[in-house]
Amino acid sequence: MATLVILALALAADAFAAAVSCGAVGRAEPRLGLALRVGLAFGLAQGLMPVAGWALGVAFDRWMRDVDHWVALVLLVAIGVHMLWESAHPEAQGGGAQSESRWALATTAIATSIDAAAAGVTLPLLDLPLLVSCSVIGGVTFALSVAGVYIGAAAGAMVGRRAGTIGGLVLIALGIKIVIDHVYFGG
């Protein structure tokens, strides 16, 4: 069980960093609804992706490891650049901001959970039950993401209008970090 908790914490790290960004660009006092929405999106994505990885099986494991970090990079950089553009052009956020934030949240949740699909392939090798493993991974990610929104909101209140720029840069850096981990450290 300790192996599973460590795995869950490692997989949740990227989601936590992204949740901090979500909180930083939100209101100074985040609503519980926002924190729960972010936590639920990230927790579900992290909890369901191991099922996808497990279903793909060992036959596709090598291919997944070869491309998952590049997919995460493209998605996170795209969202980060979009956040940078929005912070430079606040007048452009207008009426579509609600749907764009849902798109950004869903895309970020998927991008930060791609590595969980690869981890799903390894769950049978670790002799960990799939349902329990996915529940623990999703639950840990949910809890850390909710906390991350509040931590980000506190940081966002300190940096003010630059929060969108910082959040975008964090997501871009997170994408780069994922690639570096996979390419140079076998992550």
Quick check: helix, strand or coil at residue 47? Answer: helix
Per-position DSSP letters for the chain, written without gaps between them: -HHHHHHHHHHHHHHHHHHHHHHHHS-SS--HHHHHHHHHHHHHHHHHHHHHHHHHTGGGHHHHHHHHHHHHHHHHHHHHHHHHHHHH-GGGGTTTHHHHHHHHHHHHHHHHHHHHHHHHHHTTTTT--HHHHHHHHHHHHHHHHHHHHHHHHHHHHHHGGGHHHHHHHHHHHHHHHHHHHHHHH--
Residue 60: its pLDDT value, please?
65
Across the chain, which has 187 residues, the per-10-residue mean pLDDT values are: 82 85 72 91 94 73 71 78 75 47 86 79 71 93 94 77 73 83 79
Place of tokens 């606040």: 90
Residue 2: its pLDDT value, please?
78
User: For the chain, what is the domain count?
Assistant: 1
Quick check: helix, strand or coil at residue 68? Answer: helix
Place of tokens 């940081």: 155
Residue 103: its pLDDT value, please?
84
Residues 47 and 138: their CA atoms lie apart, in Å, by 4
Residue 36: its pLDDT value, please?
93
Backbone Cα Rg of the chain: 16
Residue 153: its pLDDT value, please?
86
Structural domain harbouring 129: 2-185
Residue 45: its pLDDT value, please?
94
Max Cα–Cα distance, the chain, nearest Å = 53
Residue 61: its pLDDT value, please?
61
